[in-house]
Amino acid sequence: MGHAESAALFVRDDERTHWHDQALWFVRQKRDAGARSVPDWEALRERAEAIKAHTQSRMAEYLEEFERNATRLGATVHWARDGEEHNRIVHGLLQARGAKLLVKSKSMLTEECHLNPYLEARGIEVVDTDLGERIVQLNHQPPSHIVMPAIHMKREEIGVLFHDTIGTQAGLTDPKALTEAARQHLRQKFLGATAGMTGVNFAIAETGGIVVVTNEGNADMGTSLPPIHIASMGIEKVIPRAEDLGVFLRLLARSATGQPVSSYTSHFHGPRRGSELHVVVVDNGRSALLREAGFRRALACIRCGACLNTCPVYRRSGGYSYTWLIPGPIGSTLAPGRDPAAHASLPFASSLCGSCTDVCPVRIDLHHQLLAWRREIVARGLLPAGKRWGMRLASWLLRFTWLYALAGRAARFFLRVLPPAWTRGLSGAWGRQRELPVAPPESFRELYRRTRGQP
Amino acid sequence: MASRDDILGAVRRAQPPAAAHPGVAGLGTRFPDLAAKFAEMVAVVGGTCLRVPDLAAADRALRELPVHREAKRIASLVPGVGGATFDPAAVGDPHELAGMDLCVLAAELGVAENGAVWLDVRKLPHQALFVIPEHVAVVVQASTLVHDMHQAYAAISHGPGFALFLSGPSKTADIEQALVIGAHGARSCTVLLVGA
């Protein structure tokens, strides 16, 4: 099922569609206020873009520098070509230490690798500890948003879910009470965990450190107690220097939620005393994307989610309408690079309004990339037959004046003589939610000729 | 090592032509009253900022707060502030810190633009001390305040060990975007700004 078909299911619930739209727009407005509070916002964005472009041009060197420095600090760096190798490495580390309970903080990469089912099938309990992620995990769903994983759920639904899964009283809907229940539930998991896992927001080549950002403190709880911390990062997370963080951190939280900075910006330089730190560096298609001159800018993404919150299509179709686990404009540019056939509908899930590009803190030209992907999809013959023939027909129609005039005449005739229900049906998707216009007595060309002479 | 070489080789072949690092000079923001802006931003991020002349006054101010009055297990890493009831260095297993009520910490610097403080956790007996207590209080010297994150990164040195920017208490808005203070870490963050 492509995006349009899934979105059609989502928008069946009109009230929920508007609620979802408003919830995301609220976050977009907070982002605007956050951005406006910084006088040098545009200069920051340009600098962030340039630092990412520079990093891409020397990425191998910086990855090696990171590995060297991280190793010097006592961390162990592992390399994984794909998700399967990543999972094997993580499982191997856990198995060798007899770890049975893994507490995990937010990591879209481990979602991408399908780590949870891999470990669960091998007898390891994995607990997602970010509140939103825990909610969707208990609900057996993937995140529907990269920053707010449970944004699609209403408090009443979460109340029922918590009642069924963690034993809260029935009918609980107050976010404060629900969060408190989750705190108590997850506190026990933190205290019982034998391993902690996090994603990586930034890996600093110069110092060999990794930076993990959360508001809840779950990454910190999860790495302060167990004897092993495993951090998974895509190769694109590396940045040259610690001072570059000043640029990215001033942009990240403001773009994500409008906060001036996240509550916890944790810098791990080597393992905690008496524990281990393992960093798994994952490619999984990223180096292939880096090769694509037209599309590599998407690798600069710092996962703030601003493009989702502003996207008129995401806001009204929800995260699960997308065929890739990262939804919204950034997901729709990244996904076709992995598998154009599987994600052929995503570049079309956009109005090309350009709002995503305007809010992107690292200035990825998202809507241009979506348009470029449409060309690729067409060139590779992956357009659905209906659309392909429609476009071919339109191309003929626009190429021959006589055919265009004839079609116009026919359209005006049928609009006049056929019942509206029929013509709406004939106009395809356009007519589904719209009345067709009243047919004018003459075409524009006829009108022009009559009043101004020859066109 | 095969994977490492494969990945680095693929990356090297894929890299775009050289592009210069633009540096981070010329960015940033300046506030007319550093201490006032810092105090304002601590409140914005959900914390409480108390401005006190010296450590003795910080201690008095902290003791008047409910987070201190109602606390039973208190650790303090700032001598003379907070009236510790136990020494965390004497605790062998950090799991035993669960349930502690208050920890008083010293920050290396404070950032005015976002109310964050830089905590050098290497100096603590347990890494968990900033996140596991029900409440934290942080002592910041006014002389260490900087305007923005660029100044902050210019002032701090890295590794080995753990350090963080802490900005207000633990929070979440994962349920319908309703802001709730006290997700997994401290339920409150009191910042004692000394000498301002």
Task: Give A152 to chain B, closest Cα distance, Å.
Answer: 8
Spell out the residues 6+ positions from residue A100 whose beta carbon is closer than 8 angstroms to its own. Answer: A123, A124, A125, A194
Q: Is the ipTM of this complex over 0.95?
A: yes
Fold of the B29-194 domain: Rossmann fold (3.40.50)
State whether A318 and A444 are in the same domain.
Answer: no
* Chain A contact set for B176 (CB, 8 A): 23, 154-155, 175
Residue of B nearest to A79 (CA): B4
pLDDT in tens, chain A (455 residues): 899 999 999 999 999 999 999 999 999 999 999 999 999 999 999 999 999 999 999 999 999 999 999 999 999 999 999 999 999 999 999 999 999 999 999 999 999 999 999 999 999 999 999 999 999 999 999 999 999 999 999 999 999 999 999 999 999 999 999 999 999 999 999 999 999 999 999 999 999 999 999 999 999 999 999 999 999 999 999 999 999 999 999 999 999 999 999 999 999 999 999 999 999 999 999 999 999 999 999 999 999 999 999 999 999 999 999 999 999 999 999 999 999 999 999 999 999 999 999 999 999 999 999 999 999 999 999 998 888 898 889 999 999 999 999 999 999 999 999 988 888 887 877 788 888 888 998 999 889 999 987 65
CB atoms B11 and A63 under 8 Å: yes
Residues of the domain holding A440: 397-452
Cβ burial B65-99 (10 Å sphere, 16+ → b, else e): bebbeebebbbbbbeebbebeeebeebeebbebee
Q: Mark which of A235, A250, A284 sits at the end of a domain.
A: A284
A293 vs B: CB within 8 A: yes
State whether A145 and A75 are in the same domain.
Answer: yes
- Euclidean distance between CA atoms A131 and A143, whole angstroms: 11
B165 vs A: CB within 8 A: yes
pLDDT tens for A356-391 read 999 999 999 999 999 999 999 999 999 988 888 988
pLDDT in tens, chain B (196 residues): 799 999 999 999 999 999 999 999 999 999 999 999 999 999 999 999 999 999 999 999 999 999 999 999 999 999 999 999 999 999 999 999 999 999 999 999 999 999 999 999 998 999 999 999 999 999 999 999 999 999 999 999 987 999 999 999 999 999 999 999 999 999 999 999 999 7
State whether A322 and A228 are in the same domain.
Answer: no
Task: Give B55 to chain A, closest Cα distance, Å.
Answer: 25
A217 vs B: CB within 8 A: yes
Number of neighbouring beta carbons within 10 Å of residue B134:
19
pLDDT of residue A346: 97
- Euclidean distance between CA atoms A55 and B15, whole angstroms: 9
pLDDT of residue A118: 98
A227: in domain = yes
A388: in domain = no
Listed by start position, the domains of chain B span 29-194
State whether A49 and A175 are in the same domain.
Answer: yes
pLDDT of residue B159: 78
- Euclidean distance between CA atoms B82 and B74, whole angstroms: 8
Q: Which of A56, A208, A288 sits opposite B16 (nearest CB)?
A: A56
State whether A139 and A151 are in the same domain.
Answer: yes
Mean pLDDT rounded to a whole number for chain B: 97
CB atoms B15 and A47 under 8 Å: no
State whether A417 and A373 are in the same domain.
Answer: no
pLDDT of residue A194: 98
CB atoms A60 and B44 under 8 Å: no
Number of neighbouring beta carbons within 10 Å of residue A156:
12
* Chain B contact set for A291 (CB, 8 A): 13-14
Instruction: Tell me if A287 sits within 8 A of A56, measured CB to CB.
Output: no
Q: Which of B22, B113, B170 sits opposite A51 (nearest CB)?
A: B22
pLDDT tens for A56-115 read 999 999 999 999 999 999 999 999 999 999 999 999 999 999 999 999 999 999 999 999
| Reported pTM | 0.95
State whether A312 and A415 are in the same domain.
Answer: no
B89 vs A: CB within 8 A: no
B96 vs A: CB within 8 A: no
Residue of A nearest to B118 (CA): A265
Q: How many domains does chain A have?
A: 3
Q: Which of residues 100-139 of B touch A (CB under 8 A)?
A: 111, 113-116, 126-128, 130-132
